[in-house]
């Protein structure tokens, strides 16, 4: 006789050692689930992004070296974001269509050096416009003109496909852009170029550090660039499913939810509604807040990092765009 409780089922038996915890683990993070967002600048030494510790803007040859290191860690690809010389920006984002522009030439060089390493490029005008919006403004000057923007983005996608990118990633949230881009790519013979759609992109406060990194915040001249007429209201899960369905119907290959951590319910719901791969973007502000709390000694950095990524996988994301990619992959390899 012992005085143990008469329990048939004791869930703690399956948590008693590292070995059994590994065997019963339901969700795993692996380097092959990760995509690294990278910042590209025209020239000069690596420049730290103040609100994103350990993240740097790099020149084309340093960026190639970074891609090689990521590939060696087992990370399948990177999303490349250009920081454009302010002198090249205008209200129309004209530089986005330059076949010899910084992003395009860099993509071509990386793909020729590392043909198996996947590259994703944003289709949106914000790195190229003086006002920092993702499209061109309408006659009122207060809102983004949907249909004129879609026409420009379709050309932008073709220019990127010509440079050799594997997937274009429309991040602008204009209505109808996935269908228009698919049609433009196909008409130009780029059937093999895929579309990673930022399908459910919320008007989020968590993009602040990214806007600092690409300089779209400074050029807008305002601390709070308001994109609420095109990015989604964080309150709307049903509308999120509608946006995703429209992109699926228009030919998107992968559907993305962004941000990730504060929107796990959206990722989980979308995973149940679509047969397409689901991506999630753990954005700059999610990265910054873990670093900030760790710097204050308020969180264990590595555990918070790994837990944040595992949670996004558990919600149902097949792949995660994350600034932690290299570090997390390295941690997983030993």
Residues of this chain, 265-324, that bind ligand PBG according to CB under 6 A: 283-284
Q: Site for ligand PBG (CB under 6 A): which residue of 40, 80, 110, 134? A: 134
Q: Which of 35, 83, 124, 165 binds ligand PBG (CB under 6 A)?
A: 124
Identity of the residue, 167 or 210, whose beta carbon is nearer to ligand PBG in the bound complex:
210
Helices (H), the chain: 18-23, 60-72, 102-113, 146-163, 177-187, 208-214, 216-220, 237-249, 264-273, 284-295, 301-315, 325-332
Q: Of 118, 109, 110, nearest to 76 (Cα)?
A: 118
Which span (59-67, 104-112, 119-127, 236-244) binds ligand PBG, by CB under 6 A? 119-127
Is the distance from CB of 220 to CB of 132 less than 8 angstroms? yes
Check 41, 89, 201, 227 and give the catalytic one.
Answer: 201
Of 51, 121, 154, 171, the one binding ligand PBG (CB under 6 A) is 171
Tell me if 122 contacts ligand PBG by CB under 6 A. yes
Of all residues in this chain, which one has the CB nearest to ligand PBG in the complex?
Answer: 210
Q: Is 201 a catalytic residue?
A: yes
Q: Which stretch binds ligand PBG (CB under 6 A): 95-103, 203-211, 311-319, 324-332?
A: 203-211
Under rule CB under 6 A, residue 243 binds ligand PBG: no
Residue of 308, 305, 311, 293 lying closest to 331 (CA atoms): 305
- Which residues, listed in sequence order, are joined to residue 189 by a DSSP beta bridge? none
Residue closer to ligand PBG by CB (options 149, 171) is 171
Question: Could you report how far apart the first and last alpha carbons of the chain are, in Å?
Answer: 45
Q: How far is the CB of 122 from ligand PBG (least distance, A)?
A: 5
Residue 234 contacts by C-beta under 8 Å, 6 or more apart in sequence? 202, 203, 204, 262, 263
Residue 86 CA: distances (Å) to CA of 63, 83, 217, 295, 317: 21, 9, 12, 32, 36
User: Residue 207, interface with ligand PBG (CB under 6 A)?
Assistant: yes
- 129 forms part of the interface with ligand PBG (CB under 6 A): no
Residue with tokens 């149940």: 272
Other C-beta atoms lying within 10 Å of the C-beta of residue 147: 13
Contacts with ligand PBG, residue ranges (CB under 6 A)? 122, 124, 126, 134, 171, 207, 210-211, 227, 283-284
Q: Which residues are catalytic?
A: 201, 258
């Amino acid at each position: 006789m012992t005085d143990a409780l008469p329990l048939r089922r004791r869930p703690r038996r399956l948590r008693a050692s590292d070995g059994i915890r590994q065997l019963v683990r339901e969700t795993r993070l692996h380097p092959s689930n990760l995509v690294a967002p990278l910042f590209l600048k025209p020239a000069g030494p690596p420049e730290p992004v103040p609100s994103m510790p350990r993240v740097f803007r790099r020149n084309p040859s340093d960026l190639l070296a970074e891609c090689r290191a990521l590939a060696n860690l087992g990370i399948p690809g990177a999303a490349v974001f250009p920081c454009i010389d302010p002198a090249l920006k205008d209200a129309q984002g004209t530089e986005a269509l330059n076949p010899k522009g910084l992003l395009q030439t860099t993509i071509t060089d990386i793909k020729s050096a590392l043909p198996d390493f996947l590259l994703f490029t944003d289709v949106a005008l914000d790195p190229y416009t003086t006002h920092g919006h993702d499209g061109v403004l309408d006659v009122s000057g207060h809102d983004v003109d949907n249909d004129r923007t879609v026409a420009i983005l379709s050309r932008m996608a073709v220019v990127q496909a010509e440079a050799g990118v594997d997937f274009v990633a429309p991040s602008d949230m204009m209505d109808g852009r996935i269908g228009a881009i698919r049609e433009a790519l196909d008409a130009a013979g780029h059937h093999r170029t895929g579309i990673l759609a930022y399908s459910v992109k919320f008007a989020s406060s968590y993009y602040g550090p990214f806007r600092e990194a690409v300089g779209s915040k400074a050029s807008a001249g305002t601390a709070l660039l308001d994109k609420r007429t095109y990015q989604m209201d964080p309150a709307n899960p049903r509308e999120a499913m509608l946006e995703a369905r429209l992109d699926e119907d228009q030919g998107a290959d992968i559907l993305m939810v962004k941000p990730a951590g504060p929107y796990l319910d959206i990722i989980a719901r979308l995973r149940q509604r679509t047969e397409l791969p689901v991506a999630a973007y753990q954005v700059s502000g999610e990265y910054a807040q873990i670093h900030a709390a760790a710097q204050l000694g308020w969180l264990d950095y590595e555990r918070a990092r790994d837990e944040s990524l595992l949670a996004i996988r558990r919600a149902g994301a097949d792949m995660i765009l994350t600034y932690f990619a290299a570090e997390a992959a390295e941690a997983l390899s030993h």
